[in-house]
Amino acid sequence: MALVDDIRSEPEFRLSEATPGDYFALLKPRVMSLVVFTAVVGVLAAPGSMNPFVAIIAIVAIAVGAGASGALNMWYDADIDAIMSRTSKRPVPLGRVLPGEALVFGLVLSVLSVMTLGVLVNWLAASLLAFTIFFYAVVYTMWLKRSTPQNIVIGGAAGAIPPVIGWAAATGTVSLESVIMFMIIFLWTPPHFWALALFKSGDYGRAGIPMMPNVKGELSTRRQIFAYTLVVAPVGVLPWALGYVSIGYGVAAALLGAGFLWHAWRVLAMSPDDKAMKPAKQMFFYSILYLFGIFAAYLLDILVWRAVALVGA
């Protein structure tokens, strides 16, 4: 009997109709855009000059590495993604891409991105990227996500590393400035995701994911959102307080932090009977604006002062 017949007789066998767009969706493009933006700030904020082409290679490698970890996440989480409304339209639960295809795609891109960053930029940045992929795919996705309500707190480290990788790509070091960028994203992650988890708790509950509202209750989650926001707002101002960016950034970070706190307060004060959870939804969208605003202000500050230094020279 021909080999093809054997394969065809297997019930799972089918020819793929997946398009490049389906594979691109595996990379979690929206998450990737935030990774790219924060990594760009990491590269540009670093002292010294980096060849622009090498800088672009570094950013592309970081983006592809982040995308690869997204594909590995979608491979492993296909069962729970199919249950949740937010993720049910992803290519694997829809059947557009088979889990095995997503796994191979993620592994190939992981190796390619780390090797490219190592060979063409430097091995410290490549090691950090490899660690990030491992941390997101194995530590967060396979272990923490389904076992503890602290999943996104610890797992948030993976999303916070890109500016550190960018900085390491430009300088070959990890310094206090890049660690503070890491801290801003790391401390921002819990209020961002818990705001989402509050109004999507039914989804997470059905999928059996132990998010904070499902395990500790809504009141505890709202208190913790406020506590984390109380910490992240001053940490956002630290770059100015430590004197390596201007007062312009300091004012922007303080205003953005005040807005974040105001939203966190509204979530804390939300009535338990409020089923629409409008303050939580507003907090979630504001948190995206906050992170974008903080890093945009940081980037603008650096670019303005570099331009001023160039004109003065």
Partner 1 sequence: MDSEDMVTMSVAQKRAQRSRSVAIGIALAVLVVMFYVATIIKFGPAILDRAF
Binding site for partner 1 (CB under 8 A): 2, 4-5, 8, 15-20, 23, 51, 53-54, 57, 60, 112, 116, 119-120
Q: 9 vs 271, which CB is nearer to partner 1?
A: 9
Residue closer to partner 1 (CB basis): 23 or 75: 23
Rounded distance, CA 129 to CA 61, Å? 9
Q: CB–CB of 58/121 below 8 Å?
A: yes
Compute the least distance from the CB of residue 51 to partner 1, in Å. 6
Residues 237 and 256: their CA atoms lie apart, in Å, by 10
Element (H, E) at 47: none
For the CB of residue 9, give the shortest distance to partner 1 in the complex, in Å: 12
Q: What is d(CA 126, CA 105) in angstroms, rounded to the nearest whole number?
A: 19
Q: Is the Cβ–Cβ distance between 117 and 126 less than 8 Å?
A: yes
Closest CB to partner 1 among residues 58, 297? 58
Nearest to partner 1 of 40, 158 (CB atom) = 40
| DSSP conformational letter for 89 | T
Two structure tokens written together for 222 = 């709202």
Q: In the structure encoding, which two tokens stand for residue 24, read together? A: 């691109």
Residue 53 CB, nearest distance to partner 1 (Å)?
A: 6
In whole angstroms, the minimum distance from the beta carbon of 25 to partner 1 comes to 13
Distance of CA 200 to the CA centre of its chain: 19
Residue closer to partner 1 (CB basis): 52 or 243: 52
**Closest CB 129 distance from partner 1, rounded Å:** 16
C-alpha to C-alpha distance for 255 and 253, rounded to whole angstroms? 6
